[in-house]
Structure 1
Amino acid sequence: MMESQVKMSRLQKAALWVVAVAVFTDMLIYGMIVPIIPSYAKTLGATQAEIGFLFGSYAITLLLATPISGVLSDKVGRRLPMILGLFGLVAATILFGFANSFWLLIVARMLQGISAAATWTAGLALLADVFPLQERGKAMGIALSGQAIGMLLGPTIGGFLYQWGGYHLPFIFAAAIALIDGILRITLLHDEPKQDTEQRVSYRSILKMHSLFMIIGIIIIGAALPSALEPTLPLYLHNVLHVSSGTIGLLFAVPTLAYGFTAPVIGTLSNKLGRNQTMIIGLIIAALCFPFVTLVPNIITEILVLAVLGISFSFLLAPALPELTYLADKNGIRAYGTLFAIYNTAYSIGMFCGPTLSGSLSDLFGLTNTLYIFSLILLCYLGLFFLKIKKQA
């Protein structure tokens, strides 16, 4: 008994390292191309609309590949999809580095989305496999910190390496990081838990869990809110607060840092407060805070508002992941790959809806009124969420 307990502890540590580094690597390489690819694509004759499609193609393939990755993960285990995801990431990185036509860049970006689907779905499912429910919040919070750190460092490292060594250097660096990630995935994941073949469950069975839809809504909101600011807030900061482009980049790092630092803490805290109650707090904070993004008078208070927003994202997303697994366990379902495929799908929808909605509404009503509309949507969802909880009690 003692041996199995020690072995389990080692497996948990290995799984946490592998998934956190995998998520970090994926988001680091995702972000590294942001300051590089637009200008390079223009030299290949791409229009602004085509460059927009280039960036959006990642979300499209992530959305399409995620359900397949979930089913594959439940059938063959977590290790194989994560290793396949790595090969896809390496291939995408090399293709980016040596692409001599715009459509090769499209193929590389789509391949990046497919590899992310495999890595995220299998990785989160692996954490659910090896961590008991009461420890999943903290474990998944740490994994989400890897996501935040990768998103934070990616554009900075990519831009610096591009200036220092030209177009190819960032992709050589990215390939080296992917190689380290690959060594971790192959060596540390040799002892993954076996899958119960009798527990393969269809999407239809999982979607019969009605409580699941409220959590899916939380995930969509948690992805939509930060992405809603991306196409709109920079113009406000530049035109109203007269902030430079470099400072705008640093300001966007504030909620990412706040999210990265607080996600593990809030994931642990949610076990004491209750996961649903923690998500309610996140909805309240986000709804109250969102309009202040354009109401503050100076840069200091803007930093404070963005930091509080980042914390609210942790309150929303850190408990949502273990709550998904709790609902599955409660219904006798252990098809975690399929479950986290649903998470990835919801997150992709949020990433798409956030900027699309905020951009369209800002054209019609202005940015400040748009943020009020978002707050109203959050308060309406808060009411629905609260009623659902009361009904279940």
Structure 2
Amino acid sequence: MRFPVPVMYTDAINTMKGKIVVIIVYLSLLLDNVLLTVVVPILPDYLRSVELILGNGKDNSTSNIDNHFNIRLQPDNKELEEETGYIGLLLSSKAFAQILINPVIGILTKYCGYHLPLFFGSINMLVATLLFALGENYLTFLVARTLHGIASACVGVTGMCLIAELYPSEAARSKVMGIVLGSGALGVLLGYPFGGILYAFVGKTAPFFVIAFLVVVDIGLQLSFLNLKIKYEEPVVETTWSHLLSDCLVVTAAGSILLTSAGMAILEPCLPLWLIEKMKPKKWQLGTVFIPDSLAYLIGTNFFGTFAYNFSRWRVAIVAMLLVGLSAVMVSLATDMTQLVLPHFGLGLGIGVLDAALVPMLASLMDTRHSAHYGSVYALQQTAVSLAYSLGPVIGGALMQSVGFPWVMRFIGLINILYSPLLVTLKTGVIEEEEKKISLMGTSDTQVNYKTSNEAITSRKYKRFYGSDESD
């Protein structure tokens, strides 16, 4: 039998240990997103400058992509399309690796806890960063980007799990998770200009060595404050992906995260091409067009976590998803660059608010409807985001060629608007959360951990999904 955490221990978590872990998780996610975006202004230009992609370089000591893949070169008029395809494969390899690894990390956390996979992910991030810094050919960069996908799976899944476990208070959990989620937007905001400026004035290796140094600092903090020993604890109830996918509330929440992320995933590769064709913007305008949504996402995650908890997460999530849908439609109506600022801000704000509302709620759904082990549910959440960013550009690009960019954005906006009423079903999860608080303790929210007694496991929620265990 597992009992609620005593008040004194919970207070210690929320003051000392919790703050240290939050710093480690925040730094890990920040560096993950900086590395994600810092390569975008660097690698395409670097590969073109050394002529690795099309194999036309004069330096025979440097391997080109033909040597690795035995690809027959196309005529000159197709070289740009070929180059774009290779760059697309390079940049998307992270998301595909993350999709494959997310479920594995969710399972591993059951056997070795959350600390060790986070440490393993940071080591992978360090190796990937050094490969980016020292690499000189396409294949090395492809391996580095894939290793970064593995690192992102480890950091993204275990980071949220650690926050959910260390902050059993729903109010504190919502606040802290919102702040931690904001690290992603901050990393994106820093990554693009940081990579571009250092690459232009110092060289390719400089930004990656700076990131590598910060990753080493992060690893040092983990070695000092995290318990990296393997500690297996058999959960009272086994929660597998089949159980989660049979839970309509979990699937509904994950589906909304996927659809809102898909709006931004489609926008990022398609919008610049549409702008170049229709509005002829300057280069600096293309580089700044995504700043409003990154700032808005940072605002949404940092300031709306507690707000969502106090005013019902499902209501706030519905409004956020409607905002995403309407903003996507407004993007298609823009006729000049200034008209993109407001819809971009709305997109970022809607996605940020929805994440601030639903990411903590996934932990609450695990507390009340499954076992209080969060690896599987946050692996599912990370997979939803990875699917959006891997399949979104592919589907969006295909649709853009057939129906045009404006109709693509109207389509994704309409899907978000039509999906938003389904979030009303999440009200059931809020009711169950309140019932659990009363049945477990009959006292304050601060004292409840939800890694609780057999009574919680045999409640009516568990009987619905674990019929074979009713007699336990």
RMSD, aligned CA: 2.2
Q: Deviations over 1:314-351 (max 9, x none)?
A: 22221111111111111141121121111111111111
Distance 1:315-1:52 versus aligned 2 partners, 3 A rule: same
Higher-Rg structure is 2
Aligned partner of 1:44 in structure 2 is 52
Residue 171 of structure 2 is aligned with which of 134, 141, 161?
A: 134
Residue 384 of structure 1 is aligned with which of 414, 422, 429?
A: 422
Aligned partner of 2:116 in structure 1 is 80
Name the TM-score, length of structure 1 as normaliser.
0.93
Q: Deviations over 1:2-32 (max 9, x none)?
A: 7534421212111211111110011101111
Aligned partner of 2:69 in structure 1 is none
Question: What is the SS of the residue equivalent to 1:304?
Answer: helix
Percent identity, please. 28
Asked whether the 8 Å contact 2:300–2:350 carries over to 1, the reply is: no
**For structure 1, which segment, 14-23 or 297-306, has the greater mean C-alpha deviation from structure 2 after superposition?**
297-306
Asked whether the 8 Å contact 1:220–1:349 carries over to 2, the reply is: yes
CA–CA distance in 1 between the matches of 2:299 and 2:202?
Answer: 32
- Residue 300 of structure 1 deviates from its aligned partner by 3.3
Distance 1:288-1:197 versus aligned 2 partners, 3 A rule: same
Aligned partner of 1:313 in structure 2 is 351
| 1:333-372 equivalence runs, <5 A | 333-372=371-410
CA–CA distance in 2 between the matches of 1:325 and 1:3?
Answer: 22
Asked whether the 8 Å contact 2:28–2:218 carries over to 1, the reply is: yes
- Residue 40 of structure 1 deviates from its aligned partner by 2.5
Aligned partner of 2:68 in structure 1 is none
Asked whether the 8 Å contact 2:314–2:427 carries over to 1, the reply is: no
> Which letter does structure 1 place at the counterpart of 2:186?
I
CA–CA distance in 1 between the matches of 2:200 and 2:245?
Answer: 48
Mapped pair 1:222 → 2:260 = yes
Aligned partner of 1:168 in structure 2 is 205
> Which letter does structure 2 place at the counterpart of 1:126?
L
Q: Deviations over 1:290-322 (max 9, x none)?
A: 121132344333212211221111222211111
More helix by share: 1
Asked whether the 8 Å contact 2:396–2:408 carries over to 1, the reply is: yes
Q: Deviations over 1:256-290 (max 9, x none)?
A: 11111221211111111211111100121122221
Asked whether the 8 Å contact 2:263–2:409 carries over to 1, the reply is: no
- Residue 81 of structure 1 deviates from its aligned partner by 0.8
> Which letter does structure 2 place at the counterpart of 1:28?
V
Question: What is the SS of the residue equivalent to 1:216?
Answer: helix
Mapped pair 1:260 → 2:298 = yes
Distance 1:158-1:56 versus aligned 2 partners, 3 A rule: same
Residue 159 of structure 1 is aligned with which of 182, 192, 196?
A: 196
Mapped pair 1:280 → 2:280 = no
Aligned partner of 2:131 in structure 1 is 95
CA–CA distance in 2 between the matches of 1:189 and 1:24?
Answer: 18
- Residue 194 of structure 1 deviates from its aligned partner by 7.4
Distance 1:318-1:192 versus aligned 2 partners, 3 A rule: farther
Aligned partner of 1:244 in structure 2 is 282
Aligned partner of 1:331 in structure 2 is 369
Distance 1:41-1:191 versus aligned 2 partners, 3 A rule: closer
Mapped pair 1:187 → 2:224 = yes
Asked whether the 8 Å contact 2:153–2:382 carries over to 1, the reply is: yes
Q: Deviations over 1:219-277 (max 9, x none)?
A: 10122111111122113333433321211211211101111122121111111121111
Mapped pair 1:14 → 2:14 = no
Question: What is the SS of the residue equivalent to 1:124?
Answer: helix
Question: What is the SS of the residue equivalent to 1:198?
Answer: coil
Asked whether the 8 Å contact 1:222–1:317 carries over to 2, the reply is: no
Aligned partner of 1:117 in structure 2 is 153
- Residue 383 of structure 1 deviates from its aligned partner by 3.6
Distance 1:162-1:390 versus aligned 2 partners, 3 A rule: closer
CA–CA distance in 1 between the matches of 2:428 and 2:34?
Answer: 42
Flag structure 1 segments of 5+ consecutive residues without an equivalent.
none
CA–CA distance in 1 between the matches of 2:398 and 2:278?
Answer: 20
Distance 1:80-1:31 versus aligned 2 partners, 3 A rule: same
- Residue 379 of structure 1 deviates from its aligned partner by 2.3
> Which letter does structure 2 place at the counterpart of 1:181?
D
CA–CA distance in 1 between the matches of 2:385 and 2:263?
Answer: 11
Distance 1:236-1:269 versus aligned 2 partners, 3 A rule: same
Flag structure 2 segments of 5+ consecutive residues without an equivalent.
1-5, 54-64, 66-81, 432-472
Q: Deviations over 1:206-231 (max 9, x none)?
A: 33322111011011012211111112
Distance 1:162-1:377 versus aligned 2 partners, 3 A rule: same
> Which letter does structure 2 place at the counterpart of 1:4?
Y
Asked whether the 8 Å contact 2:98–2:152 carries over to 1, the reply is: yes
**For structure 1, which segment, 230-239 or 61-70, has the greater mean C-alpha deviation from structure 2 after superposition?**
230-239
Name the TM-score, length of structure 2 as normaliser.
0.78
Aligned partner of 1:374 in structure 2 is 412
